[in-house]
Structure 1
Amino acid sequence: MTNQALDTPGILISCEPTRACLLPGIKLSARAWAIRYTTSTATGGIIEATGTVLVPTARSPHALIGYAVGTQGLAPRASAASAQLAFGLEYEAVFLAAGLRRGWVLAVPDYPGLGTGTTHPYVIGHALGPAVLDLLRAARQITHERLADLPIAITGYSEGGCAAGWALQLHPTYAPELPVVAGAVGAPPADLLDCYERHQRSPYSFLLAYGLIGLDAAYPDLHATRHLNWRGRQLFRIFRHTHVVAAVILGLIGWLLPLFRVESCVNEHPLDDPDVRAHLELNRLGDSPPSVPTFLATGMWDQAIPYRQTVDLDARWATAGAQVTTNLIPRREHITGALAFARRAYPFLDRHLVTSDQQLPEAS
């Protein structure tokens, strides 16, 4: 492979067999491929990223799905979805298994930074959207699996909803050659400023640390962490190496103990910095519409991402001309909302994939 090829996003660098387990010792019904590929950064550079492609073995594949996982953590290798799938520890595996039973080939990105030993640009849409689209491009280059003619859909929940939403927005201009026919976006953090302002004194305060670390990783010239004091820098060093479960526990401690609250960790609040706010606003989802039918949903009791963000995103996309089907799911918080989202999103995607499959004989 030439250096010129590696300067292009969406190039398959390597493809090796790997393990993917539903639970420890219980394999998913799929051939699993560990993928290394090129993708774009939020500032337009080209980097390498990793992911997993799962090809169902119990049914003939009839669609290729960009499956964007929810928050895994920031630990550069341990938090990668591919690493957790290999050991049967991936919490999204039950949803992956359901997709495989439908005959979906699943392209699961680790996201930039995770799996490659660098820092993950957490919920930065201009980094996550390309990572999803470029993995789909790379998956179509696995010649022995013959995936290039399959119709494509994109789905994700939580951070995955952010990644999926941005992939759907960017698809018409960034990767128009991909035959995307539908999308599903669940509980997306569409407005990062709103999220971070709401969680300064909540049990989800770890999202502030994750968000600032992600912003700093995506835009290093911004120096977003320069506002931290000594205590804040030490905490951030810890958070950079956490799985999401550990981060939630640390966030609860920070909520309970004044010692670890935001005001005790900064010299100046990062959200008071106009440049920080501008870059968060740059990654607000909804400025351009998806070009394909899109299912959008969230739980109305969501404690992590306010459901009003989904309402606002629906309005922004609809005003821009998108075909959006929106569900506000009653009596569901963030975790139970994921289950309810999948039960609604998967049939929605399948309806559009089947229609596309009937219209495109080469995909059969």
Structure 2
Amino acid sequence: MWFETNTESTRICAPTYSLVHGAPIDPASPAGPLTFAVPAAEVMLAAAGLRDGGSVALPDHGSLNDRFLTPHPPGYAALDGIRAVTSFEPVGLDGAATTTALSGYSGGAVASSWAVEEHPTYAPELNIRGATFGAPESDVEASLKSANTALLGGLIPITITSIGKDSPEFQAEISQHLTPSGSRIIATARNHCAAQNVLSNVWFDYRNHLNTSIVVDTSSLRLTQ
């Protein structure tokens, strides 16, 4: 089973780190003090796969740049990871013929869905038989509006900084419209785990951190006044 965990904002929140070294609260961590990583909570779901006799992999599908909401590359990373794990002899699997299923929630659903999308052309030799997604992000604009001023409003700074990683044009454009407080929040979001971002920005209202009224055109990642 290939389990795509919900991604975070920093390396310290990624599965390979948080599952081994992560702590729910770490006052000394630059990503905290609340460093509860979503991947750690998902261990229970991964354990269910092990209980049923399967092999479970939890990759850092966001790559070294900790991508989130990125189209295409997370799918490539997932498929390359499946290739690597199924061909790793000590695991004792059947190579590309290994029956594989994917699962993911939120950011993990983004990676899993792109893996399914790219599977026929990028890695057709893999025996992927099914996939499950939870809360896949399909409409960023609608999600931003829904989260704004809500309890989970802290997800908005994460989304903005994540899109900025993928689109220098978007980053340059949004930077022109951010107030000093908005710029500080976005910069901080890049270095904090999701839980800390949400806690620090409860009921976040992006309109209070813009110097002009804008509309987000997510089809082209452009901003219009």
CA contact (8 A) 1:122 1:213 kept: no
The equivalent of 1:92 in structure 2 is 42
1:278 is aligned to 2:219: yes
- Report the TM-score, using the length of structure 1 for normalisation: 0.51
| Greater strand content | 1
Q: How does 1:1-364 map to 2 (within 5 A)?
A: 65-71=1-7, 73-75=8-10, 77-87=11-21, 90-113=40-63, 116=64, 118=65, 120-147=66-93, 148=95, 149-223=97-171, 225-226=174-175, 227-252=177-202, 255=203, 261-268=205-212, 272-274=215-217, 277-279=218-220
Unaligned runs of 5+ in 1: 1-64, 282-364
Q: Distance in 1 between matches of 2:84 and 2:107?
A: 22
Q: 1:221/1:280 Cα in 2 relative to 1: closer, same or farther (>3 Å)?
A: closer
Deviations 1:117-165 (A, max 9, x none): x3x3322232322222221122233233233131111111222222222
1:79 deviation in Å? Answer: 0.5
Unaligned runs of 5+ in 2: 24-39
AA partner of residue 122 (structure 1): F
Identity of aligned residues (%): 27
Q: Distance in 1 between matches of 2:137 and 2:57?
A: 22
CA contact (8 A) 2:103 2:112 kept: yes
Q: 1:269/1:239 Cα in 2 relative to 1: closer, same or farther (>3 Å)?
A: farther
- Report the TM-score, using the length of structure 2 for normalisation: 0.80
Q: Distance in 1 between matches of 2:20 and 2:47?
A: 14
Q: Distance in 2 between matches of 1:125 and 1:163?
A: 8
CA contact (8 A) 1:69 1:160 kept: yes
Deviations 1:39-61 (A, max 9, x none): xxxxxxxxxxxxxxxxxxxxxxx
Deviations 1:35-87 (A, max 9, x none): xxxxxxxxxxxxxxxxxxxxxxxxxxxxxx2211124x212x21111111113
What's the Cα RMSD here? 2.2
Q: 3-state DSSP class of the match of 1:183?
A: strand
The number of equivalent residue pairs is: 202
CA contact (8 A) 1:66 1:133 kept: no
1:217 deviation in Å? Answer: 0.9
AA partner of residue 191 (structure 2): H
Q: Distance in 1 between matches of 2:136 and 2:57?
A: 19
Tell me: higher relative CO, structure 1 or 2? Use CA pairs within 8 A at least 6 residues apart: 2
Q: Distance in 1 between matches of 2:55 and 2:79?
A: 15
